[in-house]
Every structure is written in C-alpha cells, then in structure tokens.
C-alpha cells in the first residue's frame, strides 16, 4: 500500500517530536507540546482517511503519541520520585519511525528520561545533606562526612528504585495472572460452545431422521387409505348390483296381480 501524503507529514512531525524529546527539555518543551497536539489531530485525520495504514501501524503510531503525551505529563510532576514512577509506566514505540533508525527513538528517549529522573533523585537526596555554612570548620566537617552522606543517599536511592521495581514486577505478575485467567475462561467458554454445537448437530440429525420416518409413515398411511377407499367402493358397487338383480328377479318371479 502506498504511503499517503498525510502519513508522510505525520511521520516527519513524529520524528521531529522524538528528536525534541531526546534533547534537554526547557525552551523546547512548549514547542514539543504544540507538536504533540498537532500529532494528535493528524492521527485522528489519519484514522479517518480512506488511505489509512494497517491497524498494526496505526496502533504503533498511537502508542508513540501516547508515550510523548505521558512524557510531557511526567515532566510536570513536582518531585523527581513521582517523575521516575510515572516514567516506569510509559510504553515507547516498538518499531523505528524512519527507516534510518536502527533502534526506535522512543525507546532511546525513554531510557534517557529514566536516567534523567534517577539523576534528579540522586541530586535531591544528596542536596539534603549539604550545608551552606561558610565556616571552614563546618566545611571541613562536611567534607569528612560527605562520603557517608553520599553512601546513605545512594542507599536510599537504591531502596526507592528497588521499591519501584517491586511495584512494576507486582503489576506485571497481576497482569500475567489476569491474562492467564482470561485465557482459561476463554478456553472453558470455547469448550462449552463446542459441546453445545455438538448437541445441536445431534439434535438436528435426529430431527432429520424423525422427519424422514414421519414422511415414510405418511406415505404408507396414504397408500393404506387409498386401498381402503378402493375396497369400500367395490363393496358398495357389488351391493348395489346385487340389489338391482334381486329386484329384477323378484319382479319376474312374482308378477303383479290383476
């Protein structure tokens, strides 16, 4: 299927949005928001187009647009921990946007975004232990205790990341169990429908057999009825003939007296 002009423009704008998202967002964020809004409008028009792509390609396009929207919403969250958690649930595109890409840009953007959030969380944790005192003694003490604070911050960061990973694994397990239950229910429903179809087929076959038997018996009854009518007709004919002959003989044998 030939690529339409609308789809070509959509791919170009999507590639531009992914390039902007891979950069450090600041001045370019407002442009990215406008581009993503235009992407949504173009995606709606592409779905309604007569020369729209296959459902698989449309699904991947929709996935990439939702990923960019989720990325913008995650950047607006107040704390790095919330940003990191929101980034964990983002789903990038599965295929490259343009043919020159070896790895989908959205996956690269997702990795960069998670790394950026982890760096912000590390800086936030480390900044809580930094003192702004200008005293040399306080600065010396701070320098002595800095490795301990850094190790403590790293430990807290690892604990937070581990907690997020545990939540993600739990969510994946729940989704796996749900998919397994859905599969079992589908198989059970399929077996029930199969049994019902077999029962219906047997009932239809039995009904056909009964109909054939009924037709045979009807034909036999019809033939029997015809035979009965024929015998009755002959019997009546013989009776009338016998009566007629008897009357003639009676008249001949016993003439009328004068």
Whole-number Å distance between alpha carbons of 19 and 100: 14
- φ, ψ (nearest 5 deg) of residue 213: -65, -45
User: Which of the residue ranges 123-127, 243-247, 248-252 has the most confident prediction, judged by mean pLDDT?
Assistant: 243-247
pLDDT of residue 152: 60
Q: Contact, 39 vs 17, CB < 8 A?
A: yes
Provide CB contacts within 8 A for 43, sequence distance 6+.
Answer: 10, 61, 62, 65
- Give the mean pLDDT of the chain: 77
Average of pLDDT values for 72-81?
80
Q: Which pLDDT belongs to residue 2? A: 54
Name which residue leads in pLDDT, 134 or 92: 92
Mean pLDDT on 136-145: 48
Q: How many whole angstroms separate alpha carbon 107 and alpha carbon 110?
A: 5
pLDDT of residue 135: 47
The closest of 86, 85, 107, 80 to 18, measured between CA atoms, is 107
pLDDT reported for residue 140: 45
Question: And the tokens for 242?
Answer: 């016998």
Contact 67, 14 (CB under 8 A): no
pLDDT of residue 149 exceeding 70, the answer is no
Longest dimension (CA), the chain: 178
Is pLDDT at 160 greater than 60 in this prediction?
yes
At 243, the pLDDT band (50, 70, 90 cuts) reads very high
pLDDT higher at 112 or 135: 112
Q: Which of 28-32, 109-113, 118-122, 127-131 has the lowest mean pLDDT?
A: 127-131
Residue 148 has pLDDT above 50, yes or no: no
Q: Look at residue 3 in the predicted model and tell me its pLDDT.
A: 67
DSSP line for 164-222: HHHHHHHHHHHHHHHHHHHHHHHHHHHHHHHHHHHHHHHHHHHHHHHHHHHHHHHHHHH
d(CA 60, CA 14): 12
Q: For 41-57, what is each residue's pLDDT tens digit?
A: 888 888 888 878 888 88
Residue range 199-213, pLDDT digits in tens: 898 989 998 899 999
Arithmetic mean of pLDDT, 178-192: 87
CA distances to 203, 247, 249 from 255, rounded to whole Å, are 77, 12, 10
Contacts of 49 (CB under 8 A, 6+ apart): 4, 6, 7
Q: Name, of 1-5, 104-108, 110-114, 240-244, the range with top average pLDDT.
A: 240-244
């Amino acid at each position: 299927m030939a690529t339409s002009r609308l789809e070509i423009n959509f791919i170009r704008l999507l590639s531009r949005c992914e390039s902007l998202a891979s950069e450090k967002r600041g001045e370019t964020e407002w442009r990215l928001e406008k581009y993503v809004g235009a992407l949504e409008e173009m995606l709606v028009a592409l779905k309604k187009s007569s020369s729209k792509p296959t459902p698989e390609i449309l699904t991947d396009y929709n996935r990439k647009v939702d990923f960019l929207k989720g990325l913008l919403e995650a950047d607006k969250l107040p704390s790095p921990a919330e940003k990191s958690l929101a980034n964990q649930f983002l789903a990038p595109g599965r295929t490259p946007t343009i043919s020159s890409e070896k790895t989908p840009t959205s996956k690269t953007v997702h990795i960069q975004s998670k790394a950026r959030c982890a760096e912000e969380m590390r800086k936030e944790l480390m900044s809580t232990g930094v003192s702004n005192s200008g005293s040399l003694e306080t600065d010396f003490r701070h320098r002595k205790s800095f490795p301990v604070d850094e190790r403590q911050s790293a430990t807290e960061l690892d604990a937070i990341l581990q907690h997020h990973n545990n939540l993600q694994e739990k969510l994946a397990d729940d989704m796996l169990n749900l998919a397994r239950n859905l599969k079992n229910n589908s198989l059970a429903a399929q077996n029930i429908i199969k049994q019902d179809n077999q029962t219906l087929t047997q009932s239809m076959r039995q009904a056909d057999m009964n109909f054939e038997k009924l037709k045979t018996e009807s034909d036999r009854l019809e033939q029997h009825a015809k035979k009965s009518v024929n015998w009755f007709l002959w019997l009546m004919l013989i009776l009338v003939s016998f009566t007629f002959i008897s009357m003639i003989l009676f008249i001949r044998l016993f003439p009328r007296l004068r």
